[in-house]
C-alpha cells in the first residue's frame, strides 16, 4: 500500500525514529505533570491512558475526549471476539490503556509491543497497579517483526499504530503470521477519504510529519488482506463520528494549557485547522485469518 498524494513528503518510519518520537512525547507529558481530574491530563491533550481518537454518536453529544476514546477502544474490543483463555497481541500498545481494558472486559491475556522504552515502563507500572501484570505484559518490539511464534495468538489489534508504517502490508503480514487460523485482526487507520484543498495541506503536512504518519488508501485493504492470507470482514468509515470532534477537543486542550502557562503553545498546533479537513478520514477494519 502506498501513500496518497498528500504533499507531505517522506517520513522516517524506522523503529528508532518512531521510538524516539514517543519517548519525547512521554517526556513532554511528564514536564506538564499529571492530574486525573484535569482534561490536560499528562499533557496528552485529554486522551487519558488510551492515546487515540474518540468516537461520538453525534456532534452534539456531551462527552469528553477520554471517555470518547474509551468508547472507541470498546468498539475494537467487541470486534476482537476475545474471551477468557484467549491470547491477544496489541501492536503499538502505547502506555497500556487499551490492553488493560481489553483484559478487564474479556479476561484475555495480552502481549503489548511498542517502540518506546518509556511507554513500556509506564505500561508495566499501570499493569502492576491494576493487579494485571500476570496476564498483561509489555515489551519493546517492532510491529513489523515481533518475537512471537507463528500462529500463537487468537486476535491482533493495531489501534492507531499502522499509520506509522508507509508499507502497511508489512504489519498486516506480521499479524497474519502470528494469528491462529480463524483469528481476528482489528485495526484503525487514517486515510484520504476525499479531496484535501491546497490551503489545507500545510496543516496536514505539519500533523503527519510531526507525528511520523502517512495516510492510506482504504480501497487497498481488501487486496492487501487477501495477499496475507486473510479474509476481509468489515471496513467502516467512522470519520464523522471521530476526526473533527477529536481535533476540536485537542485544540481546545492545547489552547487551555497555553493560556494557563501564560504563554504560547509549546509546539505548533495544526489541530484547529485539521478540524475543517473533511478529506482526512478514519477507518475501523476487521479481518480474519483464513482457516487452514
Task: Tell how strand 87-91 and strand 109-114 pair up.
Answer: parallel
| Chain centroid, CA 133 distance in Å | 22
Q: What is the pLDDT of residue 19?
A: 47
Give the range among 62-76, 78-92, 251-265, 267-281 with minimum mean pLDDT. Answer: 251-265
Mean pLDDT, range 59-75, rounded to an integer: 94
Mean pLDDT, range 237-241, rounded to an integer: 97
**pLDDT tens-digit profile of 119-163?**
999 999 999 999 999 999 999 999 999 999 999 999 999 999 999
Give the range among 45-49, 99-103, 149-153, 224-228 with minimum mean pLDDT. Answer: 45-49
- Please answer whether residues 16 and 24 qualify as being in contact, where contact means their C-beta atoms are separated by less than 8 angstroms: no
- The number of CA neighbours under 13 Å toward the Cβ of 117 is 3
Asked whether the CA dihedral 126, 132, 134, 138 is positive or negative, the reply is negative
Confidence class for position 285, pLDDT limits 50, 70, 90: very high
Give the range among 83-97, 168-182, 202-216, 231-245 with minimum mean pLDDT. Answer: 202-216
Sorted by where each begins, the domain ranges of the chain are: 15-289
133/135 Cα distance (integer angstroms): 5
Cβ neighbours of residue 123 closer than 8 Å, sequence gap 6 or more: 93, 94, 95, 96, 99, 112, 114, 138
Question: Which of 11-20, 31-40, 254-263 has the largest mean confidence?
Answer: 254-263
- Over 50: is that where the pLDDT of 63 sits? yes
Give the range among 7-21, 49-63, 98-112, 161-175 with minimum mean pLDDT. Answer: 7-21
CATH topology of domain 15-289: Rossmann fold (3.40.50)
Q: Which residues of 86-121 are buried (b: 16+ CB within 10 A; e: fewer)?
A: bbbbbbbbbbbbbbbbbbeebebbbbbbbbbebbbe
The residue that leads in pLDDT, 216 or 18, is 216
For the chain, percent of residues with pLDDT exceeding 90: 70
The residue with cell 484503525 is: 188
Q: What is the pLDDT of residue 218?
A: 84
Residues tagged active-site: 160
Q: Please tell me the total number of residues recorded for the chain in this structure.
A: 292
- Over 70: is that where the pLDDT of 1 sits? no
Confidence class for position 291, pLDDT limits 50, 70, 90: confident
What backbone torsions phi and psi does residue 70 show, to the nearest 5 degrees? -60, -40
Instruction: Give SS3 for 276.
Output: coil
Q: What is the pLDDT of residue 9?
A: 40
What backbone torsions phi and psi does residue 49 show, to the nearest 5 degrees? -100, 10
Amino acid at each position: 500500500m502506498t501513500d496518497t498524494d498528500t504533499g507531505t513528503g517522506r517520513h522516517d518510519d524506522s523503529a528508532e525514529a518512531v521510538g524516539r518520537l514517543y519517548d519525547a512525547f512521554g517526556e513532554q507529558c511528564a514536564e506538564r505533570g499529571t492530574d486525573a481530574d484535569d482534561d490536560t491530563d499528562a499533557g496528552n491533550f485529554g486522551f487519558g491512558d488510551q492515546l487515540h481518537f474518540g468516537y461520538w454518536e453525534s456532534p452534539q453529544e456531551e462527552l469528553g475526549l477520554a471517555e470518547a476514546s474509551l468508547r472507541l477502544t470498546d468498539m475494537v474490543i467487541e470486534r476482537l471476539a476475545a474471551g477468557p483463555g484467549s491470547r491477544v497481541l496489541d501492536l503499538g500498545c502505547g502506555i497500556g490503556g487499551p490492553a488493560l481494558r481489553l483484559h478487564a472486559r474479556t479476561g484475555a491475556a495480552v502481549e503489548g509491543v511498542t517502540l518506546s522504552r518509556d511507554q513500556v515502563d509506564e505500561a508495566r507500572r499501570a499493569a502492576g497497579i491494576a493487579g494485571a501484570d500476570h496476564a498483561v505484559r509489555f515489551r519493546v518490539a517492532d510491529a513489523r517483526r515481533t518475537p512471537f511464534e507463528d500462529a500463537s495468538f487468537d486476535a491482533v489489534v493495531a489501534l492507531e499504530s499502522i499509520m506509522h508504517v508507509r508499507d502497511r502490508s508489512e504489519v498486516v503480514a506480521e499479524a497474519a503470521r502470528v494469528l491462529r487460523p480463524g483469528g481476528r485482526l482489528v485495526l484503525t487507520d487514517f486515510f484520504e477519504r476525499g479531496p484535501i484543498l491546497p490551503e489545507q495541506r500545510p496543516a496536514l503536512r505539519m500533523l503527519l510529519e510531526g507525528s511520523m504518519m502517512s495516510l492510506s488508501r482504504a480501497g487497498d485493504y481488501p487486496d492487501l488482506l487477501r495477499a496475507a492470507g486473510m479474509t476481509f470482514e468489515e471496513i467502516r468509515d467512522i470519520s464523522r463520528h471521530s476526526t473533527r470532534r477529536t481535533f476540536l477537543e485537542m485544540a481546545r486542550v492545547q489552547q487551555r494549557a497555553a493560556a494557563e502557562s501564560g504563554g504560547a503553545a509549546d509546539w505548533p498546533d495544526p489541530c484547529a485547522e485539521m478540524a475543517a479537513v473533511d478529506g482526512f478520514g478514519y477507518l475501523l477494519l476487521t479481518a480474519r485469518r483464513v482457516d487452514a
